[in-house]
Amino acid sequence: MARHSRHEMAARRRPAAVIVGMMGAGKTRLGKEMSQMLGIGFADADQQIEEAIGMSIPKYFARHGEAAFREVERRTVAETLGSFDGIYALGGGAPMTPAVREALHDYAEHGGRVIYLLADPAEAMERARRGGGRPMLDGDADARWMALYEQRDPVYRQVANVIVRTHGMTPKAAARKMIEMTNEGIVHVDGAGIEPYDVRIGEGALNHLPDVLGAGPVRVALIHTQSVQRHSDRARAILRKAGYQVSDIVIPDAEAGKTVQVADGIWQRLGNEGFTRSDAIVGLGGGACTDLAGFVAATWMRGVRYVNCPTSLLAMVDASTGGKTGVNTPQGKNLVGSFYTPAGVLADLRTLTSLPNDIFIEGLGEVAKSGFIRDPEILTILEDHADELRAFDGETFLDSPLKPVVAELIERTVRVKAHHVCADLKEAGLREFLNYGHTFGHAIEQLEHFRWRHGNAVAVGMVYAAELSNLTGHLDRPTVEYTYDLLDRLGLPTSWNGAGFDEVLALMHRDKKARGNTLRFVGLEEIGRPFHLDDPDQQAVREAFERVRQQA
């Protein structure tokens, strides 16, 4: 199920972020820097404890022992997590106490950010030695530090939902990175047959790549299109800095890259370069690229780890999340593929800066779809900001008031998708509602030889589905007119006249939702209430087509 968003914590008095990490990682220094940049308070658990016990922690350790200290620490942390709204730094050993771990899990489950500050071991050990007064490092300090690191690192990773690597960074740069990464939206995806993963939405989300891939892979195939070279350069630098061997694989743009022939070329490359089952795939690009990368990951060695890094609005809200992978054939779209979930999805808002206006707008088709089938607030946001969205300019996007609007639209749309995917990974029922507008839309794409972009085709497909729902007595006319009006205000097409009815009908019979010779659509009874429209009256199917064509 999808977890609470960070916005739901606004009414609660809880820390803006909690920092965990090893001794010498810089939790206090960077926490103070972060709090100053944000203009909020800072608290350090060790300082709180010393004030409460009236002596230094080393003295308390010597007099009462570690168990007594951990109990004081537990009480202090529990109280602060429920009463403080600034940046909170914990002592290195605090998360090792089960009750503290449980409190941190609860905090994170309700939208909190637990930051694992992952410093270079040599830097952290040197700072820890220089700081002194650390009873856990008595004896050979470096050896003790490494032993504690090996014990604590898995626990830090378990409790944290943000991992920030600070090696070689100035305090200000590290603090900015921490702020960037804690401002992300996180949607958690799990369910039957799904290995849980997170979709991260925010400026700088690509920084999570090494942590999502993990320590297992040696080689990483970075699959991307030429049009996103600037972003692939950044991803490659992040991967190489983390120690991975990166194979750069460039594929054709859009649907031309989503074929069995392109996949076969990648399989040949992976074989020649010795990729094993423990290596990984990263797909960076639009929806067609992430679909292909997922398909390659699902089929190479019967399945290897992969991460999706969508660079278009459409890919962020649709193709990259949900575990559908595949390629097109001459007979239809996505007819060959598999359900195979990623290890994570990193929707970095920086990648939208290179997006042309028309490619951004087509992504709004899938955003609107999610509003129609489940979250009406999406439609309200689209209405309120239609003019700004239609005038999207990538060059000014990150510094504009539109950025938080787009971030919220992406997060809400991903939550709609997560709701359906968590309950129905393999599209046996509920997940089919995500195909609202797609039966007619896919036919348009096929008949236009994919010159029409997916989001535009889905927009017309939603108009068709609304008209069909109206003709079959399920949907009122004002909602149909509202569909036309909203999509038009966003700059999306609402009509099409590219082929005759018989050609369209033949392709709709090949749709994945079809059963035998029976047509099957997703219809709408009212906003937020989709339904399965099975074998509708043939005259209504034709009349809906005529209405959409007459508008052209």
Q: Could you confirm whether 324 is annotated as catalytic? A: yes
Tens digits of residue pLDDT in 413-443: 999 998 888 876 666 667 789 999 999 999 9
Q: Sort 268 into a burial class: Cβ within 10 Å, 0-12 / 13-18 / 19+.
A: exposed
Amino acid at 195: E
8 A C-beta contact, residue 23 and residue 45:
no
Q: Could you confirm whether 32 is annotated as catalytic? A: no
* pLDDT in the model for residue 323: 78
Q: Could you confirm whether 442 is annotated as catalytic? A: yes
Between 148 and 379, the more confident residue is 379
| Residue 11 banded pLDDT, cuts 50, 70, 90 | very low
Per annotation, catalytic residue among 435, 445, 513, 547: 435
Look up the CATH number of domain 15-183. Answer: 3.40.50.300
Amino acid at 388: E
Q: Could you confirm whether 438 is annotated as catalytic? A: yes
Per annotation, catalytic residue among 302, 395, 515, 517: 302
> Is the model's pLDDT at 300 over the cut of 60?
yes
Per annotation, catalytic residue among 427, 432, 445, 467: 427
Which tokens go with 136? 């856990």
> Is the model's pLDDT at 255 over the cut of 90?
no
Look up the CATH number of domain 185-355. Answer: 3.40.50.1970
| Residue 202 assigned as binding residue | no
Per annotation, catalytic residue among 419, 420, 431, 513: 431
Tens digits of residue pLDDT in 112-139: 999 999 877 777 777 666 655 555 555 5
* pLDDT in the model for residue 12: 59
| Residue 312 assigned as binding residue | yes
Q: What are phi and psi of 512, to 5 degrees?
A: -65, -25
* pLDDT in the model for residue 9: 43
Q: Could you confirm whether 302 is annotated as catalytic? A: yes
Look up the CATH number of domain 428-551. Answer: 1.20.1090.10
| Stated pTM of the model | 0.79
Non-local CB neighbours of 538 within 8 Å, separated by 6+ positions = none
Q: Sort 62 into a burial class: Cβ within 10 Å, 0-12 / 13-18 / 19+.
A: exposed
Tens digits of residue pLDDT in 225-252: 989 999 999 999 999 999 999 999 999 9
| Residue 50 banded pLDDT, cuts 50, 70, 90 | very high
Within this chain, domains 185-355 and 428-551 share the same CATH topology: no
Non-local CB neighbours of 434 within 8 Å, separated by 6+ positions = 322, 369, 373, 417, 420
| Residue 472 assigned as binding residue | no
> Is the model's pLDDT at 446 over the cut of 50?
yes
| Residue 289 assigned as binding residue | yes
Between 522 and 145, the more confident residue is 522
Non-local CB neighbours of 32 within 8 Å, separated by 6+ positions = 42, 87
| Residue 348 assigned as binding residue | no
| Residue 255 assigned as binding residue | yes
The chain-wide mean pLDDT, for the chain, equals 89
**What one-character-per-residue DSSP string does 195-242 give?**
EEEEEEEETTGGGGHHHHH-SS-SEEEEEEEGGGHHHHHHHHHHHHHT
Q: Could you confirm whether 403 is annotated as catalytic? A: no
**Average pLDDT of the segment spanning 366-374:** 97
Quote the CA–CA distance of 234 and 216 in Å, as a whole number: 22
> Is the model's pLDDT at 104 over the cut of 60?
yes
| Residue 479 assigned as binding residue | no
* pLDDT in the model for residue 336: 84
| Residue 29 assigned as binding residue | yes
Closest CA to 520 of 118, 332, 530, 29: 530
| Residue 27 banded pLDDT, cuts 50, 70, 90 | very high
**Average pLDDT of the segment spanning 355-370:** 96
| Residue 26 assigned as binding residue | yes
Between 192 and 115, the more confident residue is 115
Q: Could you confirm whether 449 is annotated as catalytic? A: no
Per annotation, catalytic residue among 438, 453, 513, 547: 438
Non-local CB neighbours of 399 within 8 Å, separated by 6+ positions = none
**Average pLDDT of the segment spanning 492-509:** 94
**What one-character-per-residue DSSP string does 112-175 give?**
--EEEEE--HHHHHHHHHHH---GGG-SSHHHHHHHHHHHHHHHHHHH-SEEEE-TT--HHHHH
Amino acid at 533: L
| Residue 61 banded pLDDT, cuts 50, 70, 90 | confident
8 A C-beta contact, residue 289 and residue 248:
no
Quote the CA–CA distance of 3 and 9 in Å, as a whole number: 12
| Residue 92 assigned as binding residue | yes
Q: Indicate the domain borders of the chain.
A: 15-183, 185-355, 428-551
* pLDDT in the model for residue 5: 44
Farthest-apart Cα atoms in the chain, separation: 88
Per annotation, catalytic residue among 442, 513, 520, 547: 442
Question: Which residues sit opposite 65 in a β-bridge?
Answer: none
* pLDDT in the model for residue 8: 44
Between strands 185-191 and 219-225, the pairing is unpaired
> Which strand (E) or helix (H) includes residue 181?
helix 171-182
Q: Could you confirm whether 127 is annotated as catalytic? A: no
Per annotation, catalytic residue among 419, 454, 513, 547: 454
| Residue 130 assigned as binding residue | no
Per annotation, catalytic residue among 366, 432, 445, 467: 366
| Residue 70 assigned as binding residue | yes
| Residue 134 assigned as binding residue | yes
Question: Which residues sit opposite 117 in a β-bridge?
Answer: 164
